A and B are shown apart, each in its own frame.
Chain A
Amino acid sequence: MPGPGRGPMPRGMKPMVENPGKILKRLFKYMMVDFLPYWIGVFACIGISVYCMTVRGTMFTKNLINIVTDMIKNQSVDFGPLLEEIIITGCFVGVGIIASFVQARIMVVITQGFQRKLRDDMFEHMESLPIRYFDSHSHGDIMSLYTNDVDTMRQLVSQSFPQFVNSTITIISVVISMITLSGWLTLLSFVLVGIMLFVTKKVSSKSGKFFVKQQKNLGALNGFVEEMMSGQKVVKVFCHEDENIREFDRLNNELCDSSYNANRFANIIGPINAQLGNVSYVVIALVGGLMAINGFGGFLLGDLAAFLSFNRSLNMPINMISMQINSIVMALAGGDRILKLLDEKPETDEGYVTLVNAKKVYEPKQSGAEYSEDEKGSYRLEETEERTGVWAWKHFHKAENTTSYVELKGDVVFDNVDFGYVPEKMVLHDIKLFATPGQKIAFVGSTGAGKTTITNLINRFYDIQDGKIRYDGININKIKKDDLRKSLGIVLQETHLFTGTVMDNIRYGKLDATEEEVKAAAKLANADSFIRRLPEGYNTMLTGDGANLSQGQRQLLAIARAAIANPPVLILDEATSSIDTRTEKLVQEGMDKLMKGRTTFVIAHRLSTVKNSDCIMVLEQGRIIERGTHDELIELKGKYYQLYTGNQIAG
């Protein structure tokens, strides 16, 4: 049953699968695990139905003919033996039908269950992969794993594999039956089957070659189309339609050619085998006829009829197997790609320092009086279940077997950090900076200077090559990634929203937030007023990455999302740049409220942000070339001064 995937052709398939045996073995294992009892059920059902229907059914023809010839010979009108034969066969067939029905039902469970498992495993694994994976794989490619490649696997599990088992069992049982009828004819039959297999192999290797080419061409076309469709507006603006059509035609014709060749060879395997089957039928009839006439080895006419039927039954599964070869080849390619995804190394996390709720326990004064709130007296942190608003890093020291708690404050230090996306090309050099809790650090510098990269290091989207980053005095490599990221609020350069209501999207920052909290966060980010004006307010559905909202509105939601998470450290990456200036004034107020008391790293062009920063880092080509407050840097008359005054051109 063709299932959900759209079309059997995976795109962007690798021309050759390395080590197909190994892949097949792994796929097989993957297929079996979890579903073993089901498969056993399927195999049993196949065995039963093959015996009951194919073998018994064919035997019936033989017995029928033999009975009838006997009756003619003996001038008998006793239909008793025939009736008996019909009843027995009827019973067998009945069992066979039930078995094949049961098999079909189990197969539904396996097919759908397997697909679900595959999808879930892929998705879960994908979620665990580092950002690098998404940098280095096109989104279209990843998507095609879920559609085309899963589909080839479905084909394998639901059709090719059971068909293969069925055919094998059929072949074995038919061969056994044939041997019991006549060994010599069986031998002859084998020779003919051998010829058939030889031809099939020849033709299918040709078609296979073109199938691989077809996948390649399809991948090329797909890539082109994807790129052009996403840039279609630019194409229009540049009147580039004709050039596009020209290139598309070229790719399209190539695809058509290889697809034609692949299909052509695949199409003729069937007829060739069918006719070879007929030839084999004739040859067997001739030889068998001779044997029956000459009474060679007690071979009867009924036997010949049965043998001929069996011969037919033998050809059918062989045809079936040859028809599955292409889809097995494709499943191998698809499986290979899926296994590659599953083999990708997930984000490693050797961190062991965790973030826990804590409460401050003040040492009681000797006099028994308690410390007042603002008194910064000595206290110790104690882990607690409840949400106290106080967080602590739980640091277990293996050597001493002790656990210490460090309060989460948002103290960030970069110590001689070097980083490059690829080891050969460093993007950041010797970055040193520190931010004490509540400080605002601004990054300025030309585009491509490495501002965004620095912020991506704090939350460990990428791991640094050299140097150290410390968070509240703890090396961030020691902190569990999840906990590290939970303590950081991020508003990214590009806003991404999820399918769901506005409420859901804001709640993304804190899953258990109440409606009031969501609204408060929205108000803080000044998103509340526009949300209210949406057709269904907070319950308005957003689809397609919030395509129904303006860019500014989407950013407001992203800010609200960060606000609700209430993290001690904020990373703002040019978040406000495309909000219009009027709204921005309001946003600024909200942001200022949000930033209050939090360590903030901000990449922005806003003067106010930069001016109010406790420290400004001027970056150039991955190095911090100037640092200081606004006034200090103006005084310095360096790069910052140039940027600030716009007088760089003169230099």
Chain B
Amino acid sequence: MIKKLLSYVKEYKLLSILTPVAMILEVIMEILVPRLMGSLVDDGVNVGSMEHIVKMGLLMLGCALIGLLGGILGGIFGAKASTGFAKNLRKGMFDKIQTFSFANIDKFSTAGLVTRLTTDVTNVQNSYQMILRMCMRSPATFLLAMIMSFMISVKIALIYLAAVFVLGIVLAIILKKAMKAFDQAFPKYDDLNASVQENVSAIRVVKAYVREDHENKKFKKASDNIRKIFSHAEKLTTFNMPAMNITVYACILGIGWFGAHIIINTCETELSTGDLISLLTYCMSILSSLMMFSMIFIMLSMSAASARRICEVLNEEPDITNPENPVMEVKDGSIEFKNVNFRYKKDGKENVLSDINIKINAGETIGIVGGTGSAKSTLVNLISRLYDANEGSVLVGGKDVREYDLEVLRDEVSVVLQKNVLFSGSIMENLRWGIRKTGGEAVDYDTLSAEEKKKLDEECVRACRLACADEFIEKMPEGYETHIEQGGTNVSGGQKQRLCIARALVKKPKVLILDDSTSAVDTATDAKIRKAFASEIPGTTKLIIAQRIASIMNSDRIIVMEDGKINGFGTHEELLANNDIYREVYESQTGGSGDFDEGGER
């Protein structure tokens, strides 16, 4: 995991190395200063040598300057390296997500991906900076202070060593327990946030059923539970400070006692008062560096969860990739399924689609009906290679979809998804999503000439006319420049669906797939759209999934799906004559309990 993450340091490698170097420079100066101080007191103040005081003072100033340089450079390098690392991580993840197939996307939730790209990366960034700046610093401080102590007095330094040993063990025990507690606590916290999310999106249900109190009660219980778990974890860490303090002060008092003895007994030959001051300062440095180290550990363990989540994205392998020598042209809009079996999970046992064999000619209009869960959407999703068939093959224009360049295929096979979204921006900007790339390069609308812009705009308007979206767009005060809110919340369901159809039509595809895309469109408009399709884009193969029988019964042929199998395939009349399911559906919708628009089609 760590290796994977570190591979994203990339161009910030040098800075990542320089940061600890600069920090060590600062540490060396920091450690020298107490020594100089000791000398200043001993040989300067004690003997009344102003000269020595000045000399040491100047030396200390020099050290301070070098230390300052080290500190500032460390700060700057660290900032650059860590923010750059974060940038690379975000980019790495985002780029990776862009290569995901539908199957990959299904594995992650939207909220999960957003958290990974923002807060999780920020966590890792902070930890990385801390590692660069502190992780080196603490051990370096520790080591240098220890060496200096040994140089001053071996006997006293041994006291430190003992103290460090004891404190180290105590801190390690606390750390281990606390980390375990935090590991258990964090998932609970995520659950709580998930429940807030749920409430926010289902607020209408909550209010409609007057369940505010019920939700409050539920939330309070979970919230209190979290308080308990986290209190438990945090309480463990409260032992850190006393352990540290006891050791520090025991050392200080001990050094005072033994130091004084050594000074008096050896008449200041082995140890001077100045040395004693230095030792006391080092004592603080050594033990607080140990403390810092343990704090860093806890922080790191907290961001470990973030790192893990980031790696989940980075390690996810897209299961649909471009073939090596892709075919760059789709001959026509004919579609063929040959012995196709499909399962959402590779190792799953039950086929979602099984034994599909159909042939659709270019330019045909095909209706698809079937019950919920009969795998209608799954069937059409294979055509534009949103998922790959497990067995058998899907052919478009006479070639297996796996041979095509993905972009080429998806431009020619335009899908209007069942769960569709519009993006924030003007209506026109949304429609421009359908503009095809030229030579693999996305068209940058802003750089086009006025003439080209006009041409593209006209294509978009034409698509809207086909999808019957022009009527409501033109009624809007700002027309095609009307701003669409995120998720298209400021247009109605039916308007949204029509815009989505228009967007798909801008591509001028050879195959157009509507996956229950007119369910919220009123029946008259629905009929109008179909009429426009028939007259304006007769060459395009059209696959229409619908619940309303009227939406599809005039199709050239109709597929009846049942439990992932083709139950019937033929014209309306044929199916009516020999397909039980189709007849049942038809009769239920026309026999007085069907669709509101059904009457018009007779």
Contacts and interface: CB of A to CB of B under 8 A. Distances in A.
Interface string B233-258: 01101110110011001001100110
Given A120-B219, A241-B99, A643-B524, A232 B105 contact: yes
Interface in B204-231: 204-212, 214-216, 219-220, 223-224, 226-227, 230-231
A424 B37 CA distance: 75
Contacts of A376: none
Contact of B519 (A6, A448, A577): A577
A34 interface: no
A433 interface: no
A611 B54 CA distance: 104
B264 A644 contact: no
B76 A267 contact: yes
A435 to B, nearest CB: 18
A341 B350 CA distance: 48
A434 interface: no
B174 to A, nearest CB: 12
B593 A585 contact: yes
A57 B585 CA distance: 89
A104 B238 contact: yes
Interface stretch (A174-182, A251-259, A317-325, A358-366): A251-259
A485 B213 CA distance: 14
B219 A231 contact: no
B40 interface: yes
Interface in A439-492: 444-448, 452, 459, 461, 481-482, 485-486, 488, 490, 492
A151 to B, nearest CB: 9
A577 B472 contact: no
Contact of B260 (A1, A79, A240, A481): A79
A511 interface: yes
A308 B441 CA distance: 68
Given A97-B246, A585-B588, A235 B98 contact: yes
Interface stretch (A59-67, A190-198, A407-415): A59-67
B223 A64 contact: no
A123 B599 contact: no
Given A131-B204, A552-B372, A606 B594 contact: yes
B323 interface: no
A372 to B, nearest CB: 36
Interface string B31-64: 0010001001100111010100110010011011
Nearest to A107: B238
A221 interface: yes
Interface in A190-231: 218, 221-223, 225-231
Nearest to A145: B196
A218 B122 CA distance: 10
A305 interface: yes
Nearest to A150: B193
A240 B433 contact: yes
A294 B418 CA distance: 91
- Most chain B CB atoms below 10 A, which of A64, A218, A222, A609: A64
A580 B74 CA distance: 65
Q: What is the interface of chain B mostly: helix, strand, loop, or mixed?
A: helix
A490 B208 contact: yes
B211 to A, nearest CB: 7
A101 B74 CA distance: 34
Interface stretch (A18-26, A283-291, A388-396): A283-291
A514 interface: no
Contacts of A123: 196, 199, 215-216, 219-220, 223
Contacts of B120: 6-7
Interface in A246-295: 246, 248-249, 252-253, 255-256, 259-261, 263-264, 266-268, 270-272, 274-275, 278-279, 281-283, 285-286, 288-290, 292-293
A493 interface: yes
A68 B273 contact: yes
Contact of B528 (A221, A240, A611, A649): A649
Contact of A304 (B45, B110, B524, B528): B45
What interface size band does chain B fall in? Answer: 35 or more
Interface in B70-122: 70-72, 74-76, 78-80, 82-84, 86-87, 90-91, 94-95, 97-102, 105, 109-111, 113-115, 117-120, 122
Interface in B457-512: 472, 486-487, 489, 491-495, 503-504, 507
A459 B216 CA distance: 21
Interface string B115-140: 10111101101100100010000000
A369 B90 CA distance: 83
A222 B114 contact: yes
B153 interface: no
Interface stretch (B143-151, B330-338, B393-401, B404-412): B404-412
Interface string A414-428: 000000000000000
B547 A580 contact: yes
Given A72-B263, A447-B494, A485-B210, A124 B524 contact: no
A512 to B, nearest CB: 11
A553 B230 contact: no
Interface in A1-52: 1-4, 6-9, 11
Nearest to A143: B197
B373 interface: yes
B33 A111 contact: no
A342 to B, nearest CB: 15
A210 to B, nearest CB: 10
B592 A127 contact: no
A643 B597 contact: yes
B210 A644 contact: no
B201 interface: yes
A610 B560 CA distance: 27
A600 B82 CA distance: 61
A448 B600 contact: no
A96 B492 CA distance: 67
Nearest to A634: B599
B118 A239 contact: no
A263 B216 contact: no
Contact of B230 (A4, A64, A266, A486): A4
A65 B520 contact: no
Nearest to A113: B227
Contacts of A581: 369, 371, 547, 549, 585, 588-589
B241 A459 contact: no
A585 B549 CA distance: 13
Nearest to B424: A227
Contacts of A553: 372-373
Contact of B234 (A1, A232, A582): A1
A161 interface: no
Contacts of B189: 4
B417 interface: yes
B30 interface: yes
Contacts of B94: 225, 244-245, 248, 252
B548 A605 contact: yes
A251 to B, nearest CB: 9
Contacts of A226: 110, 114, 486
Given A270-B75, A304-B45, A604-B596, A65 B198 contact: no
A93 interface: yes
A261 B84 CA distance: 12
23 contacts: A1-B234, A8-B122, A65-B277, A93-B245, A93-B249, A116-B223, A131-B207, A147-B119, A222-B117, A225-B118, A229-B110, A237-B417, A239-B406, A253-B87, A268-B75, A271-B26, A274-B30, A278-B33, A461-B204, A486-B209, A550-B373, A577-B519, A606-B594
Given A252-B94, A279-B61, 20 more contacts: A2-B299, A3-B234, A6-B306, A83-B257, A120-B216, A124-B219, A147-B119, A229-B110, A235-B98, A236-B386, A239-B407, A264-B76, A264-B79, A264-B80, A271-B68, A271-B71, A286-B53, A289-B53, A545-B202, A607-B596
Q: Which 9 A-B pairs have the closest CB atoms?
A: A271-B71, A646-B600, A447-B494, A267-B75, A608-B593, A552-B372, A496-B202, A263-B79, A7-B122
